[in-house]
Amino acid sequence: MSDHINVGLRGEQAAVDFLVDKKYKILDRNWRYKKLEIDIIAFYNDTLVVVEVKSRTGTYFEQPFQAVTKKKQRFIIEAANAYIDKHEIDYETRFDIISIVEQHNKFNIEHIEDAFYPLV
C-alpha cells in the first residue's frame, strides 16, 4: 500500500480516537453514496456530525484542511443528504474538518467545528 494511503488510514484512525475521547458516538466510517464518501459520521450533543479528515506528513504546500475545496464540500453535503434520507435522521447537522499533520509518529490534530455550511 502506498505511503499516502497509509498516512490517510492512520489519520482517520487518529481522528476517530480523538472524537471518541471527546465522547462522540461514531455511527459510520467511510460511508459511500455512489462515488462519494464521508470519512466519519458521528453523533454529539443531539447533532449529527459529518467529518472530513485530511492528513498530511507536512505543511509545506498547504495545511491539510485547505484541501477541502468548495467542490469537495458540495460532494460531502450531497452524500450527507443521502445518509440523512436513508436513515431518516431529524437532527441538526454540522460539517466539521479534522486536519492532521503526522510527524515522527505523532499527530497534530486540529478539529474545525462548523467548517462549512450547505448553501441554501
- Spans of all domains in the chain: 3-114
Instruction: Check residue 63 and give its pLDDT.
Output: 76
Instruction: Check residue 119 and give its pLDDT.
Output: 72
CA 77 to CA 68: how far, in whole Å? 12
Residue 41 C-alpha from the chain's centroid: 8
Residue 47, beta-bridge partner list: 44, 92
Read off the pLDDT band of 120 (50, 70, 90): low
CA 106 to CA 45: how far, in whole Å? 29
Write the pLDDT tens digit of every residue in 7-61. 678 889 999 999 999 999 999 999 999 999 999 999 999 999 999 999 877 656 6
Instruction: Check residue 11 and give its pLDDT.
Output: 85
- CATH number of the domain located at residue range(s) 3-114 in this protein: 3.40.1350.10
Read off the pLDDT band of 82 (50, 70, 90): very high
Give the chain's radius of gyration (CA, Å). 14
Provide the grid cell at 29. 466510517
